[in-house]
Structure 1
Amino acid sequence: MEFTLLLDPQSSVPCYQQIYAALRQKILTGQLAPRQRLPSTRALAQSLGVARSTVTQSYDQLLSEGYLQTVVGSGTYVGDQLPETLLHAHSTKPVHAESPPPLVLSAYGQRLAELVAGPSPEPSTPISFRYGRPALDQMPLGIWRQLLSRHCRRADWLDYATDPMGYGPLREAIATYLAQARAVQCHPDQILITNGTQQAISLATQLLVSPGDTVALEEPSYLSARRIFASQGANLHPIAVDGEGLDVDTLARLTDSIRLVYVTPSHQFPTGAVLSLPRRLALLAWAQRQGALLLEDDYDSEYRYGGRPIPALQGLGSGQSVLYLGTFSKVLFPALRIGYMVLPLELVKLFSRAKWLADRQVPTLEQAVLADFIAEGHLERHIRRMRSLYDQRRQTMVTALQTHFGPRATILGDKAGLHMMVRFQTTLPDAELIARAEQVGIGLISAAPQYLGKSPGHEFIFSFTELNEGAIANGIARLATLVSSSLQP
């Protein structure tokens, strides 16, 4: 059989790819019919004036993709069925029942359906003081790409992980880092790698809290954690927060049997209060007496401006009453989705099984890159650089608030972390203030949803990390002009 193939010797596309593309096109358009015999590689090579190996390479690619098939002793033929047809299922008419049965949810599903669904909307204004974003433009992407390229040359990360606890070198790097930076006492075998803090809280709730159990938490506190506890059917008991963090005396006076206490001691969310050392010791002593567990969420402890960080709760005690949670979403970038838990030894096997059932593993490639990023000192250098940058932006925000609002704005929790909470003396309801701010390009986040009980109102979460100093100063000045007429004397 003879047919024409046109090759362009001046093209940057290799000849074998040109032959492959031309033959594939003829097969798809029907110029070469199913089961039609093709010339031998030798004959086609002579006809085209190319090496036989070039034609062989083209045929091999078409064979591997299913466009051609070989018959021993007979030759090479066009395949019986195009590969494209195997990728599409035949359409069928849907079956419509006259009266479909009602959908029945489990108790967990019913509780989840009653909760507010999905994440809260965030401002999309030119100047947004939204919380949770580090300065992504400062991420050392060049170093990250180099490490990523290093591991992409290998293929061992393509398979299932053998340890549901996570990538061994990453757990070792985290253990070393936590011992130096947070005085956490742990062995790498106690560290479980999770898909962010959300999964860590979810696993802890599933394994440690039964419907009807009481969970104590700060008031106000992290909304997403509260929703996870509620979805499990826990009774939530809010404990007031003041300038020294969680009021441990109030907790100790409770007559309820507390199963779990969720706490953010290093930079309370959202007030920013730091749990004082005496209260930390009192909380650990209470947990030991009561047989309760403490869920310590250390979400942004890397950033403290002036003074050394207070050691983590986990490092102050025996470690058997505390489940320590950390994340790299705030210190590096949110899309990384790598968090971790430091578990008491007696819970390691149980959490390992639960993690395996939940999702098998966190992607190995990202874990391997992060392990090198930490072990080679890049993380510590990045944190030092960002601490200096964030401190400048924090001071700019504090100065702007004091200049434009004076005593009519109370700043809370600005000595650590990635945000501060500001309480305004204003007659405007939160929703109206947010709406007015949005009209002039300013995005605000109210602290009200973080309260389990009634919010005092007029409290807002101000993040200073992803805005430069000019945008911060401009945003606060515009906000001051907007609300000046509603501020109380």
Structure 2
Amino acid sequence: MDLAINLDRISTTPLYQQLTEKIRLAVLEGKLKPNQKLPSSRSLAKSLTVSRSTVTQSYEQLESEGYLETRRGSGTYVCHQIPDEWLQSTPIEPVISKTLVKSCLSQFAQNLTSIGNLQVSEPDHAISFRYGNPAIEYFPMQQWRKFLIRHCQQSPALLNYASDAVGYYPLRVEIANYLGRSRAVQCTPEQVIIVNGSQQALDLISRLVLEPEDWVAIEEPGYLGARYCFMGQRANLQPITVNSEGIDVSVLNKYHQKFKLVYVTPSHQFPTGVTLSLPQRIALLQWAQETNTLIIEDDYDSEYRYGEQPIPALQGMDRSQSVIYIGTFSKIVFPSLRIGYLVVPQSWISLVSRAKWLCDRFCPILEQYALRDWIAEGNFERHIRRMRHLYNLRRQVLIRAFQNYFGERVTILGENAGIHVMIRIKTVLSDDLVIQKASAVGIGLISAREYYLLPQHQGEFIFGYAQLEETQIEQGILKLSQILNQ
């Protein structure tokens, strides 16, 4: 018996896989009947001009799936137990009922669909001022590999389930010690919860705290990732103005609604870059205590401060257990590490531990072991000092370039911290037109407009500089000034 099968020898799909799919479809469409004998692997291989192993592999796959069976001394047959309704069916185009899909969705899922696309693709540019990307080419990969190999060779238990959903305890000890000496955070290792980056931390806290219609105070402008988490819980968002001292606490006092939580980035406000002043920190903590409001402190890149000492974290100044602290290694080590952490009040430990267990059981163990050793042996803080020096040089090049090529036409915000700055440019062109003109000459820009909940600002852009060489920064700002001068 010959099978009418055509194989595409140009396709990237392996021939055995193509053959498997063709035979499976023939069975399901009833072209091959139950108990029908198939050609031997040798004869089918010859007729299709393929190797015998291709046919054998295909037959073995279909037999494991229950479509075929081998009868000793007789050959290969279509399995006699294929359901009749499958044999009698004919291929049809799938019909998706939008009504059915919507009726199956939870309120949370419907909230997400209303948010829209969370991931925005960026075209490639010769010089991209994308924010948030560290200079990963300077990460000591050979050193990091040494720690990974150490635990691959010595710790077979890494292949098993982790014993604790909240993270490898020795790593939590190192993080607690580091935060105490660098950020004046007051915590025990038990209060440190390891998570898959700061975004998971925001998601966990949002789901634990917020009910639909709860009020959340957010910075204006502010971080989109946090805003989307709160919107996913159908919270009401109240934007609070950010001025030169950070979030304006006096504005908070003007609202009469009960806020469930307030989200802030006090060390390096995103995206403006300003630092929440000490008087404003004290005022915010007092307001939170008086109104029984939870503060989420996102300390995403506080390690990078230039020319001045960092102000202690809000968490270390808190006396009423009003603050949940979020940190991440994405900007310090490398983004794909996906290790962040929460520092929660003592009374929250059990609750957050249970939520983390339900979410994903535990974060990858090997990386936690390696990171613990990397920190304990002093490499982590040496790397921070090295990168702080590099980023400071690149920051200075960016600031000088703006001063040289734009002069008084630009206002530079938050230039003394982080790995990005926000720039206000005096121009009659719309943000979209500026971005379009810059893209035409190979420059990638990001407008700050979308980070406002109430869009009304024009001419503000976010410039990430950490991942760019000094010559690229200089060339990029020069080209930008030229297209805006035209």
- TM-score class, shorter-chain normalisation, is 0.7 to 0.9
Structure 2 residue runs of 5 or longer lacking an equivalent are: 1-39, 44-55, 68-81
1:332-351 to 2 correspondences below 5 Å: 332-351=333-352
Structure 1 residues 35-76: Cα deviation after superposition (integer angstroms, max 9, x where no partner): xxxxxxxxxxxxxxxxxxxxxxxxxxxxxxxxxxxxxxxxxx
Q: Could you say if the C-alpha distance between residues 98 and 457 of structure 1 is closer, same or farther in structure 2, counting changes exceeding 3 Å?
A: closer
1:162-201 to 2 correspondences below 5 Å: 162-201=163-202
Secondary structure, counterpart of 2:217 in structure 1: strand
Deviation at 1:96, TM superposition (A): 7.2
Corresponding residue for residue 318 of structure 1: 319
Corresponding residue for residue 125 of structure 1: 125
For 2:64 and 2:325, how far apart are their aligned partners in 1?
A: 47
Contact 1:260 1:294 in 2 (8 A): yes
Deviation at 1:118, TM superposition (A): 2.7
Structure 1 residues 213-243: Cα deviation after superposition (integer angstroms, max 9, x where no partner): 0000100000111011011010000000011
Structure 1 residue runs of 5 or longer lacking an equivalent are: 1-27, 32-78
Secondary structure, counterpart of 2:306 in structure 1: coil
Structure 1 residues 87-130: Cα deviation after superposition (integer angstroms, max 9, x where no partner): 65649666878895622122111111111213123342010000
Is 1:381 paired with 2:353? no
Corresponding residue for residue 146 of structure 2: 146
Contact 1:300 1:330 in 2 (8 A): yes
For 2:376 and 2:59, how far apart are their aligned partners in 1?
A: 50
Is 1:205 paired with 2:206? yes
For 2:66 and 2:417, how far apart are their aligned partners in 1?
A: 56
Deviation at 1:85, TM superposition (A): 4.8
For 2:271 and 2:64, how far apart are their aligned partners in 1?
A: 50
Corresponding residue for residue 102 of structure 1: 100
Q: Could you say if the C-alpha distance between residues 186 and 442 of structure 1 is closer, same or farther in structure 2, counting changes exceeding 3 Å?
A: same
For 2:438 and 2:382, how far apart are their aligned partners in 1?
A: 37
1:437-476 to 2 correspondences below 5 Å: 437-476=438-477
Identity rate of aligned residues, in percent? 50
For 1:183 and 1:89, how far apart are their aligned partners in 2?
A: 63
Give the structure-1-normalised TM-score.
0.81
Aligned residue pair count: 411
Secondary structure, counterpart of 2:239 in structure 1: strand
Contact 2:289 2:320 in 1 (8 A): no
Structure 1 residues 274-324: Cα deviation after superposition (integer angstroms, max 9, x where no partner): 000010011011111111000000000000001111000000112610000
For 1:299 and 1:178, how far apart are their aligned partners in 2?
A: 13
1:386-425 to 2 correspondences below 5 Å: 386-425=387-426
Structure 1 residues 329-365: Cα deviation after superposition (integer angstroms, max 9, x where no partner): 0011110011100001111111110110011110011
Corresponding residue for residue 50 of structure 2: none
Deviates most, 449-458 or 262-271: 449-458
Contact 1:122 1:130 in 2 (8 A): no
Code of the residue aligned with 1:191 in structure 2: it is: V
Q: Could you say if the C-alpha distance between residues 87 and 305 of structure 1 is closer, same or farther in structure 2, counting changes exceeding 3 Å?
A: farther
Corresponding residue for residue 261 of structure 1: 262
1:218-257 to 2 correspondences below 5 Å: 218-257=219-258
Q: Could you say if the C-alpha distance between residues 319 and 312 of structure 1 is closer, same or farther in structure 2, counting changes exceeding 3 Å?
A: farther
Secondary structure, counterpart of 2:100 in structure 1: coil
For 2:247 and 2:257, how far apart are their aligned partners in 1?
A: 17
Structure 1 residues 220-273: Cα deviation after superposition (integer angstroms, max 9, x where no partner): 000111011011010000000011000011112211101000000000000001
Deviation at 1:29, TM superposition (A): 6.9
Corresponding residue for residue 359 of structure 1: 360
For 1:150 and 1:117, how far apart are their aligned partners in 2?
A: 41
Deviation at 1:150, TM superposition (A): 0.4
For 2:142 and 2:347, how far apart are their aligned partners in 1?
A: 41
For 1:87 and 1:300, how far apart are their aligned partners in 2?
A: 52
Deviation at 1:83, TM superposition (A): 6.0
Q: Could you say if the C-alpha distance between residues 261 and 83 of structure 1 is closer, same or farther in structure 2, counting changes exceeding 3 Å?
A: same
Give the structure-2-normalised TM-score.
0.81
Is 1:433 paired with 2:431? no
Higher-Rg structure is 1
Contact 1:123 1:444 in 2 (8 A): no
For 2:41 and 2:306, how far apart are their aligned partners in 1?
A: 68
Q: Could you say if the C-alpha distance between residues 303 and 427 of structure 1 is closer, same or farther in structure 2, counting changes exceeding 3 Å?
A: same
For 1:271 and 1:148, how far apart are their aligned partners in 2?
A: 37
RMSD over aligned Cα, in angstroms?
2.2
